[in-house]
Chain A
């Protein structure tokens, strides 16, 4: 399996950018991380012996670039199965339906660092749980518990996002808008 640089960029720049954006929470940083990842590939990609692992290599590299750029060590405590048992989901799909892609990304960015990376990799639909374990260098059991916990947290953030959006809609409703204008005129 071999790819040209252009093919790799075509196939992976969008999911890599989204992964970078979810981690860094800044568009410019996400673009830099994506560029830096492909630069690494252009200069060091030939050292990858197993060409079937290109995708994992790219995402691993971006994650490492991100950790390096933050210049601080992240400590990822292990989570036991029993800790997540009682928190498994309450359905809020109807809430998420109301939000657009960027709002969902914003909610994802508010999820704790610990869960955000596996969650984003999962939702980018590019990666199995084994690949996520490989990219983040954590055990498979930890990936599963982080996904479970992360989804729970994402739901809470989405719920908050919807409430904030509703609050804005109420604030700008014609009735209130009219009242506000009346008040300012009076």
Chain B
């Protein structure tokens, strides 16, 4: 590592030394100990950074902002159900009906269905797209992304063929769904269309239809494809309404 590289790294070193144990920083810090010019630069940098931190923490915040935020929240909260005159009666009826329903259903029916999986995942994808999302693993190599999913025991094998096979996987994320872990792998095709493939062990689902057909639909405006193979159940969600989901199949 040369000094310019060390300086670049140390530019992100916070003045309170929170990153002292960071392996990237350690090497640069060690170098600064041995190099007086770099040590001098770091000391000046730290003084400047500490000063700016102190100055910014003195920057005024409107006095009533906190109260306004807390008040706005109170206004947006709806009246709780237990304050409603019929709330308790309705809850009791629902409890009895659901309880009876659960006890009387065959065990296989207790498992979520493919449609429930698809609908939940579509909703989840919609909120990720609206709110932004973070990926647990990123790589430009599709093979590495798939290997990572398998290493996380999210699937023992993944069949990526057709348009998905031609697309580039760029990252994935682990999702907790109804107490089960599933993988979301993000793909980009040659037209720069982005789609997210959710992969779930098919044993978790009950009542899978006998015919394995790829179904295409729209939920919340987003194009969705659903199918399964002998190992997994897949839901592919287009990142925006304009994505031609069939291109990935």
Contact = CB atoms under 8 A, between A and B. Distances in A.
A184 interface: no
Contacts of A124: 53, 56
Given A10-B66, A38-B69, A93-B47, A81 B56 contact: no
Top 8 nearest A-B pairs (CB, nearest first) are A101-B58, A129-B12, A148-B11, A104-B55, A85-B4, A101-B59, A91-B44, A147-B11
Given A93-B51, A151-B48, A144 B9 contact: yes
Nearest to A139: B138
Interface stretch (B101-109, B127-135, B145-153, B162-170): B127-135
A78 interface: no
A23 interface: no
Interface string A132-147: 0010010000011101
B69 A101 contact: no
Interface residues of A, number: 61
Contact of A125 (B7, B53, B76): B53
Contacts of B44: 89, 91, 93
B161 interface: no
Interface in A77-100: 81-82, 84-85, 88-89, 91-93, 96-97, 99-100
Given A88-B41, A128-B14, A129-B19, A123 B72 contact: no
Contact of B127 (A27, A44, A125): A44
Most B Cβ at <10 Å: residue of A100, A144, A147: A144
A138 to B, nearest CB: 12
A134 B8 CA distance: 19
A40 B76 CA distance: 11
A115 to B, nearest CB: 11
Assign chain B's interface to a size class.
35 or more
Contacts of A56: 134
10 contacts: A31-B65, A31-B68, A34-B65, A42-B73, A89-B41, A89-B45, A104-B56, A122-B14, A123-B49, A151-B11
B85 interface: no
A143 B131 CA distance: 21
Classify the interface of chain A: helix, strand, loop or mixed.
helix
Contacts of B5: 81
A21 B59 contact: yes
Contacts of A116: none
A117 interface: no
Contact of B66 (A13, A43, A53, A97): A13
B18 interface: yes
B176 A49 contact: yes
Contacts of B52: 96, 104, 123, 154
A128 B20 CA distance: 11
A101 B57 CA distance: 7
Contacts of B58: 100-101
Contacts of B176: 49
Contact of B56 (A31, A38, A105): A105
Given A34-B65, A38-B73, A93 B48 contact: yes
Given A104-B59, A124-B56, A84 B48 contact: no
A14 B4 contact: no
A5 B49 CA distance: 31
Given A104-B55, A125-B53, A9 B66 contact: yes
Given A13-B69, A31-B68, 19 more contacts: A17-B61, A17-B65, A39-B72, A40-B131, A53-B134, A64-B132, A84-B8, A88-B4, A89-B41, A97-B51, A101-B56, A102-B60, A104-B59, A122-B12, A125-B15, A128-B18, A143-B12, A147-B11, A148-B11
B69 to A, nearest CB: 5
Contact of B76 (A43, A81, A122, A128): A43
Contacts of A42: 73, 76-77
Contacts of A108: 56
A47 interface: yes
